[in-house]
A = this chain, B = another copy of it.
Amino acid sequence: MSSSVKRFLIGRPLKSTEIGEQKLNKLKALAILSSDALSSVAYGPEQILLVLVTVSAVAFWYSIPIAIGVIFLLAALMLSYRQIIYAYPHGGGAYVVSKENLGENPGLIAGGSLLVDYILTVAVSVSAGTDAITSAFPALHYHNVIIACLLVVFITILNLRGITESATILAYPVYLFVLALVILLVVGIYNIATGEVSPDLHAPIGTPVGGVTLFLLLRAFASGCSALTGVEAISNAIPNFKDPAPKNAAKTLLAMGGLLAILFSGIVFLAYYYGIAPKAEETVVSQIASETFGRNYVYFFIQGTTALILVLAANTGYSAFPLLAFNLAKDKYIARMFTIRGDRLGYSNGIIFLGVTSILLIIAFKGQTEQLIPLYAVGVFIPFTLSQTGMLVKWIREKPKGWIMKLSINFTGAFISFTVMMIFFITKFGQVWAVLIFLPLIVFGFHQIKNHYESVGDQLRVTTCEPAIKVKGNVIIVPVAGITHVVENSMNYAKSLNPDQIIAVYVAFEREDEKLFAEKWKKWQPDVRLVTLHSYYRSIIQPLTKFIDTVEHKASESGYRVTVLIPQFIPKKSWHNILHNQSSLLIRAYLLYRRNVIVTTVPYHLKK
Residues of A near any B CB (own CB < 8 A)? 13-17, 335-337, 340-341, 343, 449, 452-453, 455-456, 459-462, 465, 467-474, 482-486, 488-489, 492-493, 495-499, 509-510, 524, 536-539, 561, 563, 568-571, 574, 576, 578-581, 592-593, 596-608
For A602, the closest partner residue in chain B by CB is B598
Asked if A449 and B489 sit within 8 Å, CB to CB, the answer is: no
10 residue pairs A–B, Cβ–Cβ below 8 Å: A335-B579, A455-B608, A456-B569, A456-B571, A459-B607, A461-B484, A471-B495, A497-B497, A497-B499, A574-B593
Asked if A341 and B538 sit within 8 Å, CB to CB, the answer is: yes
CA distance A595 to B459 in the complex (A): 33
Asked if B462 and A563 sit within 8 Å, CB to CB, the answer is: no
CA distance A566 to B604 in the complex (A): 19
Residues in B with CB closer than 8 Å to A608 are: 455, 459
CA distance A335 to B452 in the complex (A): 43
Q: How many copies does the complex hold?
A: 2
Q: Which of the residues B486, B495, B537 comes within 8 Å of A460, measured between beta carbons?
A: B486
Asked if B598 and A561 sit within 8 Å, CB to CB, the answer is: no
Determine chain A's interface SS by DSSP, over half rule: mixed
Asked if A462 and B484 sit within 8 Å, CB to CB, the answer is: yes
4 additional contacts (CB under 8 A) given A13-B539, A471-B495, A563-B600: A462-B483, A474-B496, A598-B602, A600-B601
For A491, the closest partner residue in chain B by CB is B468
Asked if A484 and B460 sit within 8 Å, CB to CB, the answer is: yes
CA distance A468 to B488 in the complex (A): 7
Q: Which of the residues B495, B524, B581 comes within 8 Å of A336, measured between beta carbons?
A: B581
Asked if B468 and A489 sit within 8 Å, CB to CB, the answer is: yes
The 6 closest A-B pairs by CB, nearest first: A471-B496, A460-B484, A600-B600, A468-B489, A468-B488, A15-B536
For A497, the closest partner residue in chain B by CB is B497
For A337, the closest partner residue in chain B by CB is B581
CB distance from A331 to the nearest CB of B (A): 14
CA distance A453 to B489 in the complex (A): 20
Which of A453, A456, A510 has the most chain B CB within a 10 Å cutoff?
A: A456
Residues in B with CB closer than 8 Å to A473 are: 496
CA distance A137 to B14 in the complex (A): 60
CB distance from A50 to the nearest CB of B (A): 32
CB distance from A161 to the nearest CB of B (A): 16
Residues in B with CB closer than 8 Å to A600 are: 563, 598-601
CA distance A13 to B536 in the complex (A): 10
Q: Which of the residues B341, B496, B601 comes within 8 Å of A561, measured between beta carbons?
A: B496
CA distance A569 to B459 in the complex (A): 10
With A470-B492, A600-B599 already in contact, the answer to whether A606 and B459 are too (CB < 8 A) is: yes
CA distance A472 to B606 in the complex (A): 22
Asked if B593 and A460 sit within 8 Å, CB to CB, the answer is: no
Asked if A536 and B16 sit within 8 Å, CB to CB, the answer is: yes
CB distance from A326 to the nearest CB of B (A): 14
Asked if A485 and B460 sit within 8 Å, CB to CB, the answer is: yes
Residues in B with CB closer than 8 Å to A340 are: 538, 581
With A598-B603, A599-B600 already in contact, the answer to whether A593 and B579 are too (CB < 8 A) is: no
Asked if B607 and A601 sit within 8 Å, CB to CB, the answer is: no
Asked if A537 and B343 sit within 8 Å, CB to CB, the answer is: yes
Residues in B with CB closer than 8 Å to A485 are: 459-462, 465, 468
Q: Which of the residues B15, B456, B496, B607 comes within 8 Å of A537, measured between beta carbons?
A: B15
CB distance from A365 to the nearest CB of B (A): 18
Residues in B with CB closer than 8 Å to A604 are: 468
